[in-house]
Amino acid sequence: MKRCVRWLKPLPLRPRDTVQVVAPAGPFEQAPFEAGLRILSERYSPVVRPDIGASHRYLAGDDFRRQEELSHAFLDRASRAIFCARGGYGSSRLLPELPIDKAGPVAFTGFSDLTSIHCALQALGRVSIHAPVLTQLGRQSTQVHDYFFRLLESAEAPPPLTGNATYVAGTAEGVLVGGNLSVFSRLLGTPYMPPLDGAVLLLEDVTERPYRIDRMWTHLRLAGVFSRVRGIVLGDFTACEEKDANYSSADVLRELARDAKVPCAAGFPIGHGAINYPVALGTHVRLDADAARLTFLEGAVSPG
């Protein structure tokens, strides 16, 4: 496979580096945020705006506050990384005004609603890190913390991750893109959709009933997404069961994946579940669906 040479990787982090903490989406509970911030502070030197705890309806403050905070984080050349307080909703509202095309090689991290920002970065050929937000970080194991820090600090490829089910056998190699199914599907038809030809697509979600998963997946199919990607990696689909149904969300996903007719493995510890391993979007991976194994062919950060 001919690899793209245009992807821009973030610079590697070092202990005590300055990092930015932002809240571009929904408001957050203070206790889990502080637990995650303590873990981050043990390794790096986080900068937090005093108004990060703002709340406006279902958002962490109005669009101006959140856009100003995130734009500053992207443009701050003294900072090596950006960590998000939580997901929720609201990141996509900021996309038109974000100066990510002018950002330096900073590591953007987060997941769930932050998928919109990841996709916008990949649309510009930039690598970013699909990873726990601060309100989730405190609930993660030390193994996940160590994996996260290694991913941010070492240019070497991280250890592979393993799922628990093969939906469509085969192998696929390509650039990893995607994230949250609901958010990713909403970017179809916008300039923020990442390049899909030859990609390996990561999908995960939370509290979406099976028929809604089917609807969003069908939207991707009708838009031609599955005719362009080479493989599908399914992370956790958390709390997605229909009450009293005689089928599961996994049954629905397995059937949908078989219809997509590209290698697909499921059950990877990525997303809203109890374990959320970070992965670098915009890097080359190999999916061995038969073994439900995702191998990373390069590191997330540049050699420095």
For 200-242, how does the pLDDT look when each residue is reduced to its tens digit (9 = 90+)?
A: 999 999 999 999 999 999 999 999 999 999 999 999 999 999 9
pLDDT of residue 2: 37
182 counts as catalytic = no
DSSP assigned state of 197: T
The distance in angstroms from the start CA to the end CA of the chain is 26
Cβ within 8 Å of residue 298, ≥6 positions away: 157, 283, 284
- Residue 265, beta-bridge partner list: 166, 233
Compute the average pLDDT of residues 25-38: 98
Q: Residue 128, SS3? A: strand
Q: Encode pLDDT of 261-297 as tens digits.
A: 999 999 999 999 999 999 999 999 999 999 999 999 9
Contacts for 216-220 with beta carbons within 8 Å, 24 or more apart? 216/181, 216/182, 216/185, 217/181, 217/253, 217/256, 218/256, 219/185, 219/188, 220/184, 220/185, 220/188
Where do the domains of the chain lie? 18-153, 161-296
- Inform me whether the pLDDT recorded for 64 exceeds 60: yes
- How would CATH label the architecture of 161-296? 3-Layer(bba) Sandwich (3.50)
Residue with tokens 């038109």: 96
| Given 204, 208, 249, 298, the catalytic residue | 204
Q: Which two tokens stand for residue 292?
A: 């439900």
Domain 18-153 has CATH 2.60.40.10: no
Give CA torsion, residues 279, 285, 287, 291, to 10 deg.
Answer: -70
Q: Encode pLDDT of 128-174 as tens digits.
A: 999 999 999 999 999 999 999 999 999 999 999 999 999 999 999 99
- Strand 128-130's sheet: what is its strand order? 45-48, 18-22, 81-84, 107-110, 128-130, 279-281
| Given 112, 116, 128, 185, the catalytic residue | 112
154 counts as catalytic = no
- Strand 161-162's sheet: what is its strand order? 161-162, 293-296, 284-288, 171-180, 200-206, 231-238, 264-266, 165-168
255 counts as catalytic = no
| Residue 219, φ and ψ in degrees, nearest 5 | -60, -45
Distance, CA of 147 to CA of 231 (rounded, Å): 24
DSSP string for 132-175: --HHHHTTS-HHHHHHHHHHHH--SPPPPEE-SEEEE-SEEEEE
| Given 118, 130, 145, 272, the catalytic residue | 272
pLDDT of residue 270: 98
Q: Can you give the three-state secondary structure of 223-292, one letter per residue? A: CCHHHCCCEEEEEEEECCCCCCCCCCHHHHHHHHHHHHCCCEEECCCCCCCCCCCCEEECCEEEEECCCC
Q: Residue 104, SS3? A: coil
Q: Which two tokens stand for residue 251?
A: 């049954």
Distance, CA of 111 to CA of 118 (rounded, Å): 8
CA 258 vs. chain centroid, Å, equals 24
pLDDT band at 6 (very low <50, low <70, confident <90, very high): confident
